[in-house]
Structure 1
Amino acid sequence: MVNLKRILFPTDFSECADAAAAYACDLANRYDAELLVLHVIHDATLDVPDFGMGLAFPGYLENIPQRRKEITSAVQQSLDLLISKFPEGSKAANGHVKFGSPISEILEFAETQNIDLIVMGTHGRTGFSHAILGSVAERVLRHAQCAVLTIRGDQVDGAATPDNKNDDETSD
């Protein structure tokens, strides 16, 4: 029997993530599981080249702690707003904000928080865009120590897709 106690919903605040949120909330309610919400901010300081001099731009690194604090506060407010829209009865814990690589932070969070299931959206990119942009969902799926459910944003009930047109469209 499936026994889900803790579900992780990582979000990038995209429409794909919104689609996955509905599944995460439903599963948390069905299994009476705790739902943890995570947003990872890609740490741009990791991308700043130092040109072999130890410091890329004078004054840049000194402001990072203040910038992180401001960004964390803004993202936390967005997470709180998102969680407030979850269906009543959801056991959503406070949202969590991390800095770093989204893939490694999601995997580390899932492991340290004893997550049973990760529910996340995927953009469903293929071909060239997938090769260039990669897929956080795909890499999490490949490396997670727990089950992972990915939801394509364009395959959710009510989404307009080539096979599922909106009701207000007519055909002749």
Structure 2
Amino acid sequence: MYNGDKIYKKILLCVDGSKFAERAAEHALFISSFSDAEVMFLSVVETNFSAGLPADESIYQINGLLKQEAEKNVEKVLKVGKNGFNDIKTTTKIDEGSPSEIILETIEKENIDLVIMGNSGKSGFDKLIIGSVADKVTKKATCSVLIAQ
């Protein structure tokens, strides 16, 4: 039963540059405006592609470009809110690794109450081989997860 406490104190908004992430940002902005929840923007640079490759300069350059793209994705989502996030406490985190693993680790480390993420729209062979990040997170998360379409 609801006792008057705020349901959401900290929301994790997963950002990947997709239109689904923009939609997720709209949900985060709406929910946080009513709950006064802090919103943490998380963008994960997928680095699994380089597993087993020799660590040379070209790999470092690719990782650098991917990090820059992740930063741009966060900025893009902030603009989607048309500066609506100005009155909301926000933090930004850009990390490297497996997106689902980083999201699940962040939920635990940051005491996240709600994860909001877009549906990546993967289907067919891609989903069979790598699986959907949204699927993995919803199955293993210790908090509520909202998937924006």
TM-score, structure 2 normalization:
0.79
Query: Tell me, what secondary structure is at the counterpart of 1:28?
Result: helix
Q: Is the 8 A contact 2:24 2:148 kept in 1?
A: yes
Aligned position for 2:20: 16
Q: How does 1:107-118 map to 2 (within 5 A)?
A: 107-118=104-115
The percent of aligned pairs where both chains have the same amino acid is: 30
Structure 2 gap segments, 5+ residues each = none
Does the residue aligned with 1:80 lie in a helix, a strand or coil?
helix
- Which amino acid letter does the alignment assign opposite residue 10 of structure 2? R
Gaps (5+ residues) in structure 1? 49-55, 153-172
Closer, same or farther in 2 for the Cα pair 1:120/1:33, shift >3 Å? same
Q: Write the distance in 2 (CA, Å) between the matches of 1:137 and 1:74.
A: 21
Question: How far did 1:16 drift?
Answer: 1.2
2:26, 2:34 → 1: CA distance? 12
Provide the secondary structure at the position in 1 that maps to 2:91: coil
Provide the aligned length of Structure 1 versus Structure 2: 141
Change (3 A) 1:31 1:75: same
Tell me what 1:5 maps to: 9
1:97 aligns with 2:97: no
Partner of 1:150: 147
CA deviation map 1:95-125 (0-9, x unaligned): 2111100110010011101100001111455
The whole-number CA distance in structure 2 between the counterparts of 1:75 and 1:27 is 24
Greater helix proportion: 2
Q: CA separation of 1:97/1:32 partners in 2, compared to 1, >3 Å: closer, same or farther?
A: same
Inter-partner Cα distance in structure 2 for 1:92 and 1:45: 35
- Bigger Rg, which one: 1
2:135 matched residue in structure 1: 138
Q: 2:70 aligns with which of 75, 86, 90?
A: 75
